[in-house]
A and B are shown apart, each in its own frame.
Chain A
Amino acid sequence: GAVVSQHPSWVICKSGTSVKIECRSLDFQATTMFWYRQFPKQSLMLMATSNEGSKATYEQGVEKDKFLINHASLTLSTLTVTSAHPEDSSFYICSARASLNTEAFFGQGTRLTVV
C-alpha cells in the first residue's frame, strides 16, 4: 500500500512552546489530508480536514488558532500545536488520500508529551 510518513514519532516539549508535526505522502499525491487526535483507550477523533491549497476545515470544538494546519503541497501537511499545554498531550495521527473515496493511508503517529 501507499506510504504516509509522519515525523517526529514522539516529542516532549515544555508548556507554552509550539510543536510542529509533519505528514508526508511518499509515493502518491494527497489532495486531502486528515489530522486526528487519540487519547488513551479511545478511538481516533478527527480534528481537521485539509485540502491542498485551501484552508483546513476544523471539527467542532477544535481551536483553529491553536492547531495550525498547513497543506502547502500535494505531499506535505503540517500540524502546529501552538502554546502547548499538558492537556494537549496526546497521540496525533495524520492520514492522506489521493482523491474522494480512495483509500486513506495513515502515518505512524506522533506521541506528544507537554511537561
Chain B
Amino acid sequence: KNQVEQSPQSLIILEGKNCTLQCNYTVSPFSNLRWYKQDTGRGPVSLTIMTFSENTKSNGRYTATLDADTKQSSLHITASQLSDSASYICVVSDGSNYQLIWGAGTKLIIKP
C-alpha cells in the first residue's frame, strides 16, 4: 500500500535554531517527492520538488534531501524564523497514475 509517513508530528524550536523534518515513503513506482509549507488557514505552497535522480535541492533556507534507495527524504530548515511556523507536508507522486500520496505533516512552531 502506498504510504507517506512523517516525523515528528510536531516540533517546537527557538528562533534561529536549525531543524530537520523526516519523511519515509513506500510509494512505488516513484515519480517525484514534494515538500509543501502550509500556513494555518491557507493552501499549501510548494517548497521543493525532487525526482529520482536528485539527492539535494535547496530553496533559500530550506534544503531537501532524497534517498531513493531507502525511500527517505528530509527537509532541513536553517536559522529558523518566526514565519517558519507552519505545517510541512511531504507528498509523493505515484509514477503509475501520478496520484499524490500525502503525509500527515509536521507541525512546526518557532518560539522567540
For chain B, the bracket of interface size reads 10 to 19
The answer to whether the Cβ of A60 comes within 8 Å of any Cβ in the partner chain is: no
B93 touches A101 (CB 8 A): yes
A101 touches B49 (CB 8 A): no
Q: Which residues of B pack against A, CB within 8 Å?
A: 31-32, 36, 41-46, 49, 89, 93, 98, 100, 102-105, 107
A100 touches B98 (CB 8 A): yes
A101 touches B104 (CB 8 A): no
* CB nearest to B45 among chain A residues: A106
Contacts of A54 in B (CB 8 A): none
The 8 Å CB contact of A43, one of B31, B43, B45, B102, is: B102
Contacts of A93 in B (CB 8 A): 43-44
Query: How many residues of chain A are within 8 Å of chain B by beta carbon?
Result: 23
A103 to B93, CA, bound (A): 10
For the complex of A and B, list the 3 residue pairs with the smallest distance between their C-beta atoms, beginning with the closest: A106-B43, A43-B104, A109-B43
A93 to B89, CA, bound (A): 15
> Can you show 13 pairs from A to B with CB atoms below 8 A apart?
A1-B46, A43-B89, A44-B44, A44-B89, A45-B102, A46-B102, A93-B43, A101-B98, A103-B46, A104-B100, A105-B46, A106-B36, A109-B42
B102 touches A108 (CB 8 A): no
The answer to whether the Cβ of A58 comes within 8 Å of any Cβ in the partner chain is: no
A111 to B107, CA, bound (A): 20
B104 touches A108 (CB 8 A): no
Contacts of B46 in A (CB 8 A): 1, 103, 105
Contacts of B98 in A (CB 8 A): 100-101
A43 touches B103 (CB 8 A): yes
